């Protein structure tokens, strides 16, 4: 038996990186997966991989900043599987630069993906989970919600804001067994970072699979227990006093 047998799980940003790693880990523990992001081709690759572990996986291309597409994602999931047990809000965008040079377009793009997306997905999950008697939402944050990185004001701001959204959902959901928590990764060796020569991408790294083991642990807890925030990072990564 797996730790997540039969748990219907929506994962956003599931085509690459952390989302794909969490999908792989959840599949190995028996979860039923609904994979969402804008890129169908990458989602299909993830679906093919997790099906190799015996998991049921559905691909639903979704732009998490589009309200109609998010509503459709949850409606289709419930229509096919009858419920939503777990939501992993993982879709994210990173952009930045010197603060005085930031454009409004850059600012709004990062806020839309990193805050509006989790709001829309969390709202739809809350509606379903309250009716069915409970569920779990895990928002993927960043250690930038605790210690800011220079030249990343939009990203830093959204990850701080996601802490507030997480606590708000947890507060409003607790009387209904709707549990909300936040997973804060440090440096993760995603495909993008593996291909990068930027100085910050040469820092100590952990693998997506190592991070995903923590997501499994959080998701497998009974609904009367919550890890409100978990900070996971390479042991040698600069964190306290970073920047």
- The candidate with the shortest Cα–Cα distance to 144, out of 188, 181, 196, is 188
Distance CA 148, CA 6 (A): 38
Catalytic residue among 53, 155, 176, 239: 155
pLDDT at 201: 76
What average pLDDT does range 171-184 have in this prediction?
98
Q: What is the dihedral of CA 133, 86, 159, 28, to 10 degrees?
A: 160
The whole-chain average pLDDT of the chain stands at 95
Instruction: Classify domain 8-232 at the CATH topology level.
Output: Rossmann fold (3.40.50)
Residue 171 pLDDT: 98
pLDDT at residue 243 is higher than 70: no
- Whether the per-residue pLDDT at 216 is higher than 50: the answer is yes
Take residue 76 and report the two structure tokens written for it.
Answer: 């289709």
Whether the predicted pLDDT of 241 surpasses 60: no
In this predicted structure, which of 5-14, 56-65, 188-197 has the lowest mean pLDDT? 188-197
Integer Cα distance of 77 and 81 in angstroms: 6
Check residue 199 and give its pLDDT. 79
Q: Quickly state the pLDDT bin for 205 (edges 50, 70, 90).
A: very high
d(C-alpha 51, C-alpha 75), whole Å: 23
pLDDT bucket at 97, cuts 50 / 70 / 90: very high
40 vs 202, more confident: 40
* 55/44 Cα distance (integer angstroms): 14
d(CA 89, CA 182): 9
- Least confident span in 53-62, 102-111, 196-205: 196-205
Name the band, by pLDDT with cuts 50, 70 and 90, for residue 46: very high
Q: Can 155 be counted among the known catalytic residues?
A: yes
Confidence at residue 240, expressed as pLDDT on a 0 to 100 scale: 63
Using the structure block, give the residue that is written with the tokens 């939009």: 154
The pLDDT of residue 222: 98
Domain boundaries, the chain: 8-232
């Amino acid at each position: 038996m797996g730790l997540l047998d039969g748990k219907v799980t929506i994962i956003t940003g599931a085509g690459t990186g952390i989302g794909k790693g969490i999908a792989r880990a959840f599949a190995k523990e028996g979860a039923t997966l609904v994979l969402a992001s804008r890129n169908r081709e990458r989602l299909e690759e993830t679906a093919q991989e997790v099906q190799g572990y015996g998991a049921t996986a559905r691909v639903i291309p979704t732009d998490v900043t589009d309200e109609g597409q998010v509503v459709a994602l949850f409606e289709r999931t419930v229509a096919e599987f009858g419920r939503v047990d777990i939501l992993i809000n993982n879709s994210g965008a990173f952009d930045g630069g010197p603060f005085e040079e930031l454009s409004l377009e850059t600012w709004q793009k990062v806020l839309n993906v990193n805050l509006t997306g989790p709001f829309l997905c969390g709202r739809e999950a809350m509606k379903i989970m309250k009716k069915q008697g409970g569920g779990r939402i895990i928002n993927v944050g960043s250690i930038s919600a605790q210690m800011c990185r220079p030249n990343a004001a939009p990203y830093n701001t959204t990850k701080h804001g996601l802490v507030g959204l997480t606590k708000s959902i947890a507060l409003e959901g607790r009387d209904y067994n709707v549990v909300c928590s936040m997973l804060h990764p440090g440096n993760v060796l995603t495909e993008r970072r593996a291909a990068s020569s930027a100085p910050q991408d040469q820092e100590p790294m952990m693998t997506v699979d190592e991070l995903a083991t923590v997501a499994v642990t959080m998701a497998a807890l009974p609904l009367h227990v919550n890890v409100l925030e978990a900070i996971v990072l390479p042991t040698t990564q600069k964190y306290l006093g970073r920047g």
